Amino acid sequence: METVPYPIGENHPDPTLLFSIDRKHLKWMNGAAESWLRKPKSALIGQCISEFGRGFDELKTHINQLGNEDSTSYRGHDIIVNVRRIDFVCSFNIYNSAAGIVVQISPKEMGSGFVHATGPDQSVSMLGRMLAHELKNPLAGIKGAAQLLEVELENPDDLELTGLISTEVDRIGRLADRMEKFGQADFDNYTHFNVHEVLQKTFLIFVNQGLEDIEFVELFDPSLPDVFGDSDGIMQVLINLLANAVDAIKSVETHGVIKVETRFRTGIHRLDQTGRKHALPVEVRIIDNGPGIPEALRDRVFQPFVTGKSNGQGLGLALISKIIADHGGLIEVSSEPGQTEFSILLPVEPQADKG
């Protein structure tokens, strides 16, 4: 049995499969795939993916659409496959590697609000709980210090900053609470909210970072309906994307411009876990004039551990992708030298399986 030349595939929480270069047969799969398919590697090695069950022939079609260049990848959503007489709605990512064609699948059981649990998810959940515990300890001290400062301050601008510290500590605390439940789908915090209010709070964080050399341009559509989702999670997405844009601009000597645009889009839909379509009419676009994403990484930026930063971990965009997927939304990126654009599409109504 062939060993995949990168250990990340084995430990990835999503089912990951490796197919031959000619795309005809399975060479390897990780433990998450064995757990999901309920079959050992030995039973499936050598088979064509269309033999796995109903719906997998559509995934085979997408595999065959992948280009042959090493940097090529293909992302897709909302195919329905049947495993063990259970229908799953799947997003997927397909890309080339030295060993063959890699397929990573994110399955959600139809009619359930829970991501299908796989073996490695237990270790991921444990990591989430450990991180949340370590994160909460300093948060209480930071908030206490901010409250003590407020007693001594009189300047309204200074009080606004201490208020921002307290607000952000509370938001991070709520995220930490959710990290302790990592791997479980919890939609109790989903509600309608104004995305522009979230954007304004996000801008406030960056305005106080001394970024005078970077111009922030707001192009908002005031007629947009409220988004349905978790405002804390969406704010984290926006913070990460803006931070990436700032880092990109700082890496080159240019007048930095970051444009944030909102607009109403029609005709964009996704399937929820009941197989029903839901609209994604609210779009948020973040555009920067940095150097652009390296061509070799552009199609893989949402994969874990893929980064163009010398000190990066490659987890920020993977986290963003997960948060948007949990909302039933979409995120796409386009990039060329001198411009990178991220587009987020979000729902305005609860999905049938989430509310």
pLDDT tens by residue, 223-263: 999 999 999 889 989 999 999 999 899 888 778 999 999 99
CATH topology of domain 191-346: Heat Shock Protein 90 (3.30.565)
Q: What confidence score (pLDDT) does residue 284 get? A: 97
3-state secondary structure string, 103-165? EEEEEEECCCCCECCCCCHHHHHHHHHHHHHHHHHHHHHHHHHHHHHHHHCCCHHHHHHHHHH
Average pLDDT score over the chain: 79
**Chosen CATH of 8-109 out of 3.30.450.20, 3.40.640.10, 3.30.70.1150, 3.30.420.40:** 3.30.450.20
Query: Pick the residue with more confidence: 79 or 314?
Result: 79
Q: Where along the chain do its domains lie?
A: 8-109, 121-179, 191-346
pLDDT in tens, 328-344: 899 989 999 999 999 99
The mean per-residue pLDDT over the stretch 3-23 comes to 70
The mean per-residue pLDDT over the stretch 261-281 comes to 84
User: Do residues 79 and 54 touch, judged by C-beta distance below 8 A?
Assistant: no
Pairing of strands 191-193, 73-83: unpaired
